[in-house]
Amino acid sequence: METSRRDFLVIGGRLLVMTAATAGALEHVLAGTPEKAPTYDTAAHWWAMTIDIDLCIGCGNCVRACKAENDVLNEPFYFRTWVERYHVDPADMEHPTVDSPNGGFDGFMERYPDGSGKTFFVPKLCNHCAHSPCVQVCPVGATFETPDGVVLVDKEYCIGCRYCVQACPYGCRYIDPRTHTADKCTLCYHRITRGLTTACVETCPTGARQLADLKNPADPIHEFLRANKIQVLKAQMATGAKVYYAGLDGAVR
Amino acid sequence: MVWLAVMAAARERRVRVAPRFKDVEHLLRLAGLFLAGVLIFVIVRGALVPDDFGALGHYRAGALASNRDKPVVHAGQAACVGCHVDVAEVRAGSLHAPLGCEGCHGPLGAHASAQDDRKPVRPEGRDLCLRCHAANAGRPAWFRTVVATEHAGEERCITCHRPHAPALR
Amino acid sequence: MPGVDGFMYPNEMELQWSVLIVLYPFITGLVAGAFILASLERVFNVQAVKPTYRLALLTALAFLIVAPLPLQLHLGHPERSFEMYLTPHTTSAMAMFGFVYLWYLMVVLLVEIWLDYRRDLVLARRRSAGFKRLLYTALTLGSDNISEAALRIDDRVGRVVTIVGIPSAFLLHGYVGFIFGSVKANPWWSTPMMPIVFLFSAIVSGIALVMIIYIVASWIRRTPLDMICVDTIARYLFYAFLIDFSLELLDLVHRVYEADESFRTLDFMVRTRLWTSQVILQMALGTVVPLVMLAVTQVARLSDRSRIATYTTAGVLTLIGIFAMRWNVVIGGQLFSKSFLGYTTYKMGFATREGLLPAVLVMILPLVILWVLVKLLPPWPEAARE
């Protein structure tokens, strides 16, 4: 009795302080199943992500949030997103030193002293390529590009042949040892289709990552792409990668 | 293909001796066997291919729904400030104002939707602070970092700084 | 991280394709090669190799039956593999395997063997009773007609099937090469040379295998070897090997000369982690030594005994070399990071699902099947003459 009365008070208190906008956001959270958020129209979106290298501080928030949000196995070697640290010596720019201890999950222990070359962080995730090599090689149609530009895996259909893992130039895929099927970043498809942003963007303290919808004319990505020098990873692979990096060094691969 | 071969062979032989039906009859049995195999394959395939396969592309259209149909673990900033107006006021205008609550307090989707009474993590010690603010060669110059031991010895960060609005207390 | 040098993308540490995927191109290669040898007699009328015609066909069949097994053992969900037939993705090289395989097994190999053995099967049916008779009745499809006219038609149809079979054999293995050669993300694999190199190494390995099986079978059965036949096979092995070797050299020279962004990484890998399997096993022991041995038999006059010894040794070394080549392609292609900044190690289990033990069993199984096939359908010349 006591408990239910307190619940009533809490809920009542919430209703009092909620503005219309936040109530809307909470409704998305409460929505639960996609059927309950029927307004989402795949034809109205074309998802991408922007990453500003100069804003990344290598805290690893994105890696931890991603694992929690998407039930990613909390062990090394299973990452939907991870952070790499590059150290480039001007004398040998072709051969950078790179590390990514536990994918950056625990942040980075200090290692490189200041002054010897440059050091910076590079967050990585699936590039949700428009011409995905992984989708191309899937023998059965268990991975695909959605009409709104996200590369997804059908875990009930995947045969676990691992050809897609081989075909990804970016190392974004792995086999989930619990399901024996391919797994990868879904761009938090369960969130973005409910009006929320991805877990990595939600928890990024500096705003280095931003979810972007290229079909939305008001999306800041258009200004971002105009105002910055933009690079995608391994452009020579012609994968149509849709993770756009600002300030990416040529040493990054 | 077998049939083509039979025809070719038959045509060639016609010049000399007309092929009798009974001499190619075993080949027709083989062709019949293949035909039956192909027929069974077509029927079985029709029955087994998922109904929604190919509706949107070469995949099960239902896979979109199964990728969406997952619990939301991080509630999102909007949901947090909806209730915690007091904290939002403290944070407003501070250097930490742009940070998402769940970056430090952990995922709180269940908490926000009142599905359970899980409370936010209240970070202790200074590991969390130092994950961002420890001096590290990779951190951009604009970002404030310290060498913790030089900056504060073994003292906890919150002794001097308020995490929601990190100017000195 | 033990076994890892430099930087790998975090998801790259573990290898995706194991020793079983090494066996897969090795086995399909033996199939294609054995078939090509068989078709030498049928299509190109090389009468000298007639004694091995049927043996080569049965060898191809035995290995072809086993070819999908390592794949099934490797799949995360083997029970879903039939989806390749339900919804084959037309842009996927791998999806075509199911169809290329079925075409080759059902239309080419089985039909050719059936046509060639039909007379024997009918005769065997007439001789036998009970269950055996039932089995042979099924195998003859209930037809008893072995009139001269019917057999002549069989021979013509068989010839057409063989002619169709040669491009099919090329397709079967060239396509296996394409599975690797078309992965643009992997510079160790991605080359248009891959299908053709796979094809010629397949021919080499298939010819070597049938030659060894023929020599060993004759030894077990204590029947004299047809030396003209063995000499001819060895000569064709030598020619095919020369082409294969030239193609691989061309690939190597091209890589060394172009020295693109991946070269430093791959070069280092070959000098370290692949040194034993690539340079020692594949190139030296598996290619140069057997080539020299075969060359010697072409120019020097050797006794029958020493020729047989040379052929056998060269054949075994060839098979080891081709296996090493498959290993270096499949495993080597996964030892380096696609960032070109580091290397990992392949750790093979023993009695695990994808370990050494199942691999050895998968390699023994086709020999067992071949043994059964030989009992059921004797391929020896004297059986055909009876």
Q: d(Cα A175, Cα A181) in Å, to the nearest integer?
A: 5
pLDDT band at residue A24 using 50, 70 and 90 as cut-offs = very low
Question: In the predicted model, what is the mean pLDDT of residues C154-177?
Answer: 91
Residue A87, pLDDT above cutoff 80:
yes
105-124 in A: which are within 8 Å (CB) of C? 124
Q: What is the pLDDT of residues A49-59, one digit of tens each?
A: 999 999 999 99
The residues near A245 (Cβ < 8 Å, ≥ 6 apart) are A50, A51, A52, A53, A122, A230, A231, A232, A233, A252
Taking 3-state DSSP, the helix, strand and coil percentages for chain A, each rounded to the nearest 5, stand at 30, 20, 50
Q: What is the pLDDT of residues C37-81, one digit of tens each?
A: 999 888 888 999 999 999 999 999 999 999 999 999 999 999 999
Shortest CB distance from B73 goes to which of A56, A68, A87? A68
What backbone phi and psi angles, to 5 degrees, belong to A80? -90, -30
Residue B166: the pLDDT is 86
Residues from chain A that touch B52, judged by Cβ atoms under 8 A, are: none
**Which chains lie within 8 Å of chain A at 3 or more CB pairs, if any?**
B, C
Q: What is the pLDDT of residues C361-370, one digit of tens each?
A: 999 999 999 9
Range with lowest mean pLDDT among A24-38, A100-114, C127-141, C146-160: A24-38
Q: d(Cα A194, Cα A188) in Å, to the nearest integer?
A: 10
Q: Which of C90, C57, C385 is nearest to A140 (CA)?
A: C90
CB contact under 8 A, B23 and C106: no
Residue B115, pLDDT above cutoff 80:
no
67-126 in B: which are within 8 Å (CB) of A? 67-79, 81-83, 85, 98-100, 102-103, 106-107, 109, 112-114
Residue A115: the pLDDT is 67
Shortest CB distance from C12 goes to which of A98, A161, A171? A171
Residue C193, pLDDT above cutoff 80:
yes
Q: d(Cα A70, Cα A79) in Å, to the nearest integer?
A: 10
Give the gap in angstroms from C-alpha C329 to the nearest C-alpha of chain A.
Answer: 13
Mutate to test the interface with A, among B51, B58, B72 (most CBs of A within 10 A): B72
Q: Which of C67, C151, C49 is nearest to C109 (CA)?
A: C67
Residue B137: the pLDDT is 85
Could you identify the residue written with the tokens 């590079």? A122
Residues from chain A that touch C97, judged by Cβ atoms under 8 A, are: 139
Question: In the predicted model, what is the mean pLDDT of residues A135-153?
Answer: 97
Average pLDDT over chain C, rounded to whole?
A: 94
Residue B120: the pLDDT is 83
Q: What is the pLDDT of residues B67-91, one digit of tens each?
A: 999 999 999 999 999 889 999 999 9
Q: Collapse the DSSP code of B118 into the 3-class scheme (helix H, G, I; strand E, B; otherwise coil) and give the result.
A: coil
Residue A34: the pLDDT is 41
Question: In the predicted model, what is the mean pLDDT of residues B9-36?
Answer: 78
Q: What is the pLDDT of residues A213-226, one digit of tens each?
A: 999 999 999 999 99
Mutate to test the interface with C, among B3, B20, B24, B27 (most CBs of C within 10 A): B27
Percent of chain C with pLDDT over 90: 89
Residue A35, pLDDT above cutoff 90:
no
pTM of the model: 0.91
Give the gap in angstroms from C-alpha C371 to the nearest C-alpha of chain A.
Answer: 31
The residues near A141 (Cβ < 8 Å, ≥ 6 apart) are A154, A157, B53, B57, B58, B59, B60, C87, C89
Q: d(Cα C194, Cα C175) in Å, to the nearest integer?
A: 9
pLDDT band at residue B121 using 50, 70 and 90 as cut-offs = confident
B13 Cβ under 8 Å from any chain A Cβ: no
* Closest chain A CA to residue C80: A159
pLDDT band at residue A116 using 50, 70 and 90 as cut-offs = confident
Residue C275: the pLDDT is 96
Residue B12: the pLDDT is 58
Residue B75: the pLDDT is 93
What backbone phi and psi angles, to 5 degrees, belong to A89? -90, 125
Give the gap in angstroms from C-alpha B59 to the nearest C-alpha of chain C.
Answer: 9
For residues A39 and A166, the model is more confident at A166
Percent of chain C with pLDDT over 70: 99
Range with lowest mean pLDDT among A118-127, C75-84, C171-180: C171-180
Q: According to the per-residue pLDDT averaged within each range, which of A145-154, B144-153, C2-11 is highest?
A: A145-154
Residue C178: the pLDDT is 95
Residue C98, pLDDT above cutoff 50:
yes
CB contact under 8 A, C156 and B24: no
Q: What is the pLDDT of residues C241-286, one digit of tens each?
A: 999 999 999 999 999 999 999 999 999 999 999 999 999 999 999 9
Residues from chain A that touch C7, judged by Cβ atoms under 8 A, are: 84, 97-100
The residues near C132 (Cβ < 8 Å, ≥ 6 apart) are C124
pLDDT band at residue A4 using 50, 70 and 90 as cut-offs = very low
